[in-house]
Structure 1
Amino acid sequence: MAAVPGLRRRMACWLYEGMLLFGVVFIAGYLFSTLSQTRNALDNRHVLQAFMFVVLGIYFVWFWSKGQTLAMKTWHIRVVDRQGRPLTQPRALLRYLLSWMWFLPPLVVLAPLGLPVLEAMVLLAGWILVWALLSRFHPRRQFWHDAWAGTQLIHQPPAPKRVR
């Protein structure tokens, strides 16, 4: 059975992924606003959110079905199914939908409350911490959305360097 990367390494990869996604979101947002001729950020807000959901879905499903995103490659982490095989696109899509557990519960709670931004960010950060720590209760220390999707994160050692 392949080694499971530690929580610290998985969270470092998660943060690095967020930084890399800044570029994806920026380009997709620019493309959307250009094609839709949106002049004000609040115009077409819900359509933009749906567009970003789809763009991020395509990004993650494509990379996960190949085994790794760039951040995962950097941190030597690979996503596979329970048998250690590469993910199919339907399984990667299921993982993408279930991975919204990182954000969906606090967003559902925040929507009717109308909290100030700082308090909302504290609630969101608190939930992310709780969700990450819940992996300690999984028998193989996997995140619960991975368990539900039938996937797992494993350590992917770097390829040996060729000596010339």
Structure 2
Amino acid sequence: MTQRRFTQLDSVTPAALPRRLAAMLYDGFLVLAIWLVVTVMHMAFLRFVLGRSAESIGTGNLAVATLRLLLVCSAAAFFTYCWRRGGMTLGMQTWRLRVQNAQGGPISLSQSLIRCMAAWVSLAAAGLGYWWVLVDPQKRSWPDIASGTQTVVLPKAAGKKAARHKAAQNKAAQK
């Protein structure tokens, strides 16, 4: 996988809690959709490949354990892929957030996996790992601290109005 080279390194600011929570909500819907697909595939595998009866699907400890493992791994794969590829998930793109290393570059695979593990711990602790942003002077969450990364807000891109104005100026100059 090729990594993008990050730009706008000097014009980013640490992400505040409300923006992070909004991106997490968006990404939660994406993860839910992924989990639905994984669950259907798991059930189809049990039913049609292993030949289990419809009534027995989801009743055995092994089936439940494998489904849970698949759900955790699929969520980790989603976040790891997005963070490594461009530093952001779809929810993060919407809210102009990016995860980057301390030097402002893309995070490593190990940093991604550590972020995922720390995120589960943060959520399991009633979200305390994310509320930590309110008390940390650098606005870091537990996943940020544990992985040596930072979540930043990207500056707004030039607006459509400015782009239209520039296009109109270019058109007038050509006449």
TM-score after normalising by structure 1: 0.77
Match of 1:4 in 2: 14
Give the CA deviation at 1:158. Answer: 4.5
- Structure 2 counterpart of 1:14, from 24, 43, 46: 24
| Corresponding letter in the other structure for 1:23 | A
- Contact 1:3–1:154, Cα closer than 8 Å, also in 2: yes
Q: Which has the larger radius of gyration?
A: 2
Match of 1:47 in 2: 66
Return the alpha-carbon distance in structure 1 between the equivalents of residues 33 and 109 of structure 2: 23
Match of 1:122 in 2: none
Aligned in 2, Cα 1:73/1:45: closer, same or farther, shift over 3 Å?
same
Query: Secondary structure in 2 aligned to 1:103?
Result: helix
Superposed CA deviations along residues 99-146 of structure 1, whole A, max 9, x for unmatched, are 1112344xxxxxxxxxxxxxxxxxxxxx12x33322222221110221
Return the alpha-carbon distance in structure 2 between the equivalents of residues 77 and 42 of structure 1: 41
- Contact 1:138–1:144, Cα closer than 8 Å, also in 2: no
Q: Does 1:62 align with 2:81?
A: yes
Aligned in 2, Cα 1:103/1:7: closer, same or farther, shift over 3 Å?
closer
Q: Which deviates the most, 135-144 or 45-54?
A: 135-144
Match of 2:132 in 1: 134
Aligned in 2, Cα 1:157/1:35: closer, same or farther, shift over 3 Å?
farther
Match of 1:78 in 2: 98
- Contact 1:5–1:154, Cα closer than 8 Å, also in 2: yes
- Percent identity between the two aligned chains: 24
Q: Does 1:149 align with 2:168?
A: no
Alignment map for 1:16-31 (pairs within 5 Å): 16-31=26-41
- Structure 2 counterpart of 1:100, from 116, 120, 134: 120
Superposed CA deviations along residues 80-108 of structure 1, whole A, max 9, x for unmatched, are 01111111222211211221112344xxx
Superposed CA deviations along residues 1-29 of structure 1, whole A, max 9, x for unmatched, are 63012211111111121112111111111
Listed as ranges, the gaps of 5+ residues in structure 1 are: 106-126
Listed as ranges, the gaps of 5+ residues in structure 2 are: 1-9, 168-175
